[in-house]
Amino acid sequence: MSSLALLPSGVIFPLYIYPSDNCAGWAPLVSSISTHRTLQFTIIVDPASGPGSADSQPDTNYQACIAQLRSTGAANGDNVRILGYVATGHGSRTVSAVLTDIGTYNGWSAAYRPDGIFFDEAATDPSFLSNYQSFTTTVRNEFGPNSYIVLNPGAVPDTGYFSIAHLVVSFEGFYSDFSASSIPISSATPANKQAAIIHDGPTNVNLTTVRTLTRTVGVGASFLTDFPNAVAYENYPTDWTTYLNDLVSTQA
């Protein structure tokens, strides 16, 4: 156990890597959680572009390895939060299908039940806000008041979306398109409620980029990978440990 304070700017990891037997696929992440105890790891699990069929449990590898992520976080000062992936089709997916996915995650046994939900392909337009309000209210009702909610429009949404989530991914895209101005800061859109997910970066992490994320902007969380868009979340970034070290050093 640790009383180390978590740094304000953490990591959001779309962990679309299969855990495999003995959690071999997640071993680098488990190791990073232990070696970077001051970083909050917000980890998105996604067994089947969602939780799988209605009322199903994940396979035994997911069961064991989510439990391992959780126990690793608990042993390191509580620096792990696990979210279940739910697609929302930019507002086009039916409300009932989204609610079914939320309920399926909530039905997972306690040892591997997520701490909240990551809504992918979130809408940006205010016309869909009421749908997302019902999604996030359902998460709070089912997972409890301490549950955690992330919306991923991948672009800056209407400000109404900021009031219904803990974190909004307001940039998901190419490294060449990212700059400090990708994250607009205002009282309705505070930096610490925003995240940036950046792919197609340089093989070697650029300290200036990390400093922009943590110091210039102060995002709540980020992910930075050199892998190209199509496989960005199915691999560990080549320079993963440098990125984590830079997140820590730029917040010293």
Ligand X SMILES: *[C@@H]1O[C@H](CO)[C@@H](O)[C@H](O)[C@H]1NC(C)=O
**The one segment of 18-26, 136-144, 203-211, 214-222 that binds ligand X by CB under 6 A:** 203-211
Identity of the residue, 209 or 225, whose beta carbon is nearer to ligand X in the bound complex: 209
The distance of closest approach from Cβ of residue 228 to ligand X in the complex, given in angstroms and rounded to an integer, is 18
> Considering the rule CB under 6 A, would residue 208 count as an interface residue with ligand X?
yes
The distance of closest approach from Cβ of residue 206 to ligand X in the complex, given in angstroms and rounded to an integer, is 4
Phi, psi of 75 (to 5 degrees): -80, -10
- What residue is closest to ligand X based on CB? 206
Which residues on adjacent β-strands are paired with residue 59?
none
The distance of closest approach from Cβ of residue 185 to ligand X in the complex, given in angstroms and rounded to an integer, is 19
The distance of closest approach from Cβ of residue 242 to ligand X in the complex, given in angstroms and rounded to an integer, is 12
CB crowding 19-52: b at 16 or more within 10 Å, else e: beeebebbeebbebbeebbbbbbbbbbbbeebbb
Choosing from 38, 131, 192, 206, the residue that interacts with ligand X (CB under 6 A) is 206
7 and 217 Cβ atoms separated by less than 8 Å: no
Helices 60-75 and 27-35 cross at an angle (nearest 10°) of: 10
**The one segment of 46-54, 107-115, 123-131, 204-212 that binds ligand X by CB under 6 A:** 204-212
**The one segment of 11-19, 95-103, 109-117, 202-210 that binds ligand X by CB under 6 A:** 202-210
The distance of closest approach from Cβ of residue 56 to ligand X in the complex, given in angstroms and rounded to an integer, is 45
Tell me, residue by residue from 132 to 161, as one string, x for binding to ligand X by CB under 6 A and - for no binding: ------------------------------
> Considering the rule CB under 6 A, would residue 242 count as an interface residue with ligand X?
no
Q: List the interface residues with ligand X, window 56-115 (CB under 6 A).
A: none
**The one segment of 115-123, 151-159, 201-209, 219-227 that binds ligand X by CB under 6 A:** 201-209
Identity of the residue, 131 or 206, whose beta carbon is nearer to ligand X in the bound complex: 206
Residue 58 token pair: 């994940």
**The one segment of 37-45, 129-137, 206-214, 223-231 that binds ligand X by CB under 6 A:** 206-214
Give me Rg for the CA atoms of the chain: 17
Identity of the residue, 63 or 206, whose beta carbon is nearer to ligand X in the bound complex: 206
Chain residues in the site for ligand X (CB under 6 A): 206, 208-209
